[in-house]
Homo-oligomer: A and B are copies of this chain.
Amino acid sequence: MTPGPTINDLTFQAATVNGSGSQSANLVLTRAIFSMGIPVAPKNVFPSNIEGLPTWYQLRISPRGYQARAGEPDVLVALNPATWTKDLASVRPGGAVVHEQAYSTAGARSDVSYFPVPFAKLAKSRIQSDTLRKQLTNMLYVGVVAGLLGIPFEAIEHGIRRTFQSKPKAWQVNIDAACVGYQHWQDNFADRGIAHVLRPMTGLTDDRVLIEGNQAAALGCVMGGCTVAAWYPITPSSSLCENLITYAERFRVDPETGEKKIAVVQAEDELAALGMAIGAGWTGARAMTSTSGPGISLMGEFTGLAYYAEVPVVIFDIQRIGPSTGLPTRTSQADLGFVYTLSHGDTKHLVLLPGTVEECYEFAQTAFDLADRFQAPVFVLSDLDLGMNLWMTPTFQYPERPFDRGKVLDAGDLARLEGQWGRYRDVDQDGVAYRTLPGTDHPAAGYFTRGSGHDEDARYTEEAEAYARNMDRLARKFETARSAVPAPVVDESAHSTIGLIAFGTTHHAVVEARDLLSERGLPVDYLRVRALPLSSSITEFVRDHERVYVIEQNRDGQMYDLLRLELPAELAGRLRSIRHYDGRPIPAESITRPLLELEEAVPVQ
């Protein structure tokens, strides 16, 4: 006897050609399923190309709402002849394969069920508009999949209206196209037994929304009071500033005058982009730039200036996998070490490490506060997986705290001080000095900002002692920041002798891996790093565990290294490194497999 179909537990994958409009088809499906109250976790794997190359869209649906990348798909929609064979091979035994009828299945594997659909023919015969046919062809499979998985057609219609929110004109044609596919299913496969179905659920998606990390970060910039953003397009960071532009047009424009309460400047390159942001930060505005690896490599000199002249600025790095141009549309966590000490000489920077879209939103705001507070560049390290995929998240909180503008002296303060102040004096012994802004109407307000040697009163100096004093203060300032940046999130509920440490999007694979390990009888504790400099509390976590696995998405174990440098020598030896670096988001399996191997290798006391 065959077991009944599994419910709400499957991985869907569409294999299509990029630039063919399949992206909107996939979004419609995602929205439709989400509207059924079912947790979704989409991952879009696209080429560094505009049209004609293979692209995959993976939609993971799991009862527990796992967000990490899954392994092989249970349900495949195959619409790319170029990858048909490979795609077919990737399907889990027992899976369902919807494919263009024209593709040959002669002698193909028999452990999956095939649903051949004459997409091309249907498109020709059933879609009138020639101009729209290319786009709409993909809507056909939306309908077919709806039939296959038992998605109510109303949900599909909802998904279409959501996806084309801004252009209602597109609704009906898309609904019609989806309907054609849906009808085709009913007519041809309705009676076929299937292995996976979807059923509406309740409770799991309440107060949840779907949003991409870059959009969340852009929203964070708006709520964080960003008024100057300078950027140069680069994948996967472009959509952050493009979302910011959209928000600006909607929320920052004075309806009467048409005046904009923000300047989003498309710079000529990344050097200029960061330079503009620093110029604005120096003037007192909350300024940012957003880029990816290659841009970071061009920002070294200006970052050093902001560090040494102490100018607030926020730099988003939406990481893609390098080195060099690398794979522009693949994800990575390999900029960590480089960004931490970016620029020549002795420099160390504040780095925020969001792991969720919610933290993209929160940390964007935190970053501006920290930049103003510590008068320094603050990096926010996201990645392609977080920035460019839709994630399910609790609705964001409206910020209750005012901006923290840091130590700024205005004309009144200067009057009270009778002009007695020095730009780089460590008045509060926390390494953070007071600054004034250009345009402050007091004779003592002005000072000279420079990247060359300066003393406590911002006078040029080449004096050895003055130089060393200043560098020591900068180190002191960094120590002050250590306890001001977002603290690690610790879960020691497993009371295990084993601990995991991760950061950023690796978090989602860890969540799943911990469940798997528990099932295998190996519950593990977990600390998620959320910022550099590293919190001293990490030492405690390591002290509490015999073995601590540091999991990250880069080749060289960059976080593993940073941790070993911070830990007391006797604890550093407890760390083990697990790394994933093939450009795809890390799956839970890439943690459990090596971890179990390493555990077996552990000599029994």
- Asked if A301 contacts B304 (CB within 8 A), the reply is no
- Asked if B452 contacts A325 (CB within 8 A), the reply is yes
Stretch from A241-249, A329-337, A482-490 contacting the other chain: A329-337
Question: Which residues of B sit under 8 angstroms from A582, Cβ to Cβ?
Answer: 464-465, 467-468
| A and B contact pairs by CB, cutoff 8 A, 24 listed | A48-B452, A293-B344, A296-B300, A297-B304, A297-B343, A308-B326, A322-B344, A322-B346, A323-B346, A323-B451, A324-B343, A324-B452, A325-B452, A326-B452, A327-B467, A329-B462, A337-B341, A338-B342, A338-B347, A346-B554, A475-B556, A561-B565, A564-B564, A565-B565
CA distance A450 to B323 in the complex (A): 11
Q: Does A47 contact B (CB under 8 A)?
A: yes
CA distance A324 to B300 in the complex (A): 9
The chain B residue with its CB closest to the CB of A338 is B344
Question: Which residues of B sit under 8 angstroms from A293, Cβ to Cβ?
Answer: 344-345
Among the listed B297, B325, B347, which residue makes an inter-chain contact with A300, where contact means beta carbons less than 8 Å apart? B297
Q: Does A305 contact B (CB under 8 A)?
A: yes
With both chains docked as a complex, state the minimum distance between the C-beta of A460 and any C-beta of chain B, in angstroms.
9
Residue among A309, A324, A334, A348 facing the most chain B CB atoms (10 A cut-off): A324
The chain B residue with its CB closest to the CB of A337 is B341
Question: Which residues of B sit under 8 angstroms from A346, Cβ to Cβ?
Answer: 322-323, 334, 554-556, 558, 581
Question: Which residues of B sit under 8 angstroms from A569, Cβ to Cβ?
Answer: 564, 569, 572-573
Question: Which residues of B sit under 8 angstroms from A305, Cβ to Cβ?
Answer: 324-325
CA distance A308 to B342 in the complex (A): 20
What residues of chain A have their CB less than 8 Å away from a CB belonging to chain B?
47-48, 293-294, 296-298, 300-301, 303-305, 307-309, 321-330, 332, 334-335, 337-339, 341-348, 450-453, 462, 464-465, 467-468, 471-472, 475, 554-556, 558, 561, 564-565, 568-570, 572-573, 581-584
With both chains docked as a complex, state the minimum distance between the C-beta of A306 and any C-beta of chain B, in angstroms.
9
CA distance A335 to B570 in the complex (A): 29
- Asked if B467 contacts A325 (CB within 8 A), the reply is no
Smallest CB-CB A-B distances: 9 pairs: A322-B345, A569-B573, A324-B451, A297-B300, A293-B344, A464-B582, A323-B345, A297-B301, A346-B555
Question: Which residues of B sit under 8 angstroms from A47, Cβ to Cβ?
Answer: 462
Question: Which residues of B sit under 8 angstroms from A347, Cβ to Cβ?
Answer: 322-323, 338
With A464-B582, A464-B583, A467-B583: A452-B327 Cβ-Cβ less than 8 Å: yes
CA distance A570 to B568 in the complex (A): 11
* Identical chains in the assembly: 2
Question: Which residues of B sit under 8 angstroms from A475, Cβ to Cβ?
Answer: 555-556
- Asked if B462 contacts A581 (CB within 8 A), the reply is no
CA distance A570 to B346 in the complex (A): 28
With A346-B334, A570-B573, A573-B569: A48-B323 Cβ-Cβ less than 8 Å: no
With both chains docked as a complex, state the minimum distance between the C-beta of A58 and any C-beta of chain B, in angstroms.
14
Among the listed B307, B322, B335, B338, which residue makes an inter-chain contact with A324, where contact means beta carbons less than 8 Å apart? B307
- Asked if B325 contacts A451 (CB within 8 A), the reply is yes
The chain B residue with its CB closest to the CB of A478 is B556
With both chains docked as a complex, state the minimum distance between the C-beta of A164 and any C-beta of chain B, in angstroms.
29
CA distance A346 to B324 in the complex (A): 10
Question: Which residues of B sit under 8 angstroms from A471, Cβ to Cβ?
Answer: 555, 581
- Asked if B468 contacts A581 (CB within 8 A), the reply is yes
With both chains docked as a complex, state the minimum distance between the C-beta of A374 and any C-beta of chain B, in angstroms.
15
- Asked if B450 contacts A325 (CB within 8 A), the reply is yes
With A47-B462, A583-B462: A334-B338 Cβ-Cβ less than 8 Å: no
- Asked if B348 contacts A343 (CB within 8 A), the reply is no
Residue among A465, A472, A564 facing the most chain B CB atoms (10 A cut-off): A564
- Asked if A462 contacts B48 (CB within 8 A), the reply is yes
CA distance A346 to B339 in the complex (A): 12
With both chains docked as a complex, state the minimum distance between the C-beta of A462 and any C-beta of chain B, in angstroms.
5
The chain B residue with its CB closest to the CB of A324 is B451
CA distance A339 to B342 in the complex (A): 10
- Asked if A308 contacts B327 (CB within 8 A), the reply is no
Among the listed B294, B344, B468, which residue makes an inter-chain contact with A297, where contact means beta carbons less than 8 Å apart? B344
Question: Which residues of B sit under 8 angstroms from A342, Cβ to Cβ?
Answer: 338
With both chains docked as a complex, state the minimum distance between the C-beta of A412 and any C-beta of chain B, in angstroms.
32
- Asked if B323 contacts A304 (CB within 8 A), the reply is yes
With A307-B323, A453-B326: A345-B334 Cβ-Cβ less than 8 Å: yes
With both chains docked as a complex, state the minimum distance between the C-beta of A482 and any C-beta of chain B, in angstroms.
15
Other than the given A300-B300, A327-B467, A467-B583, 5 more pairs (CB < 8 A) read: A322-B347, A325-B451, A327-B462, A339-B344, A468-B581
CA distance A335 to B347 in the complex (A): 10
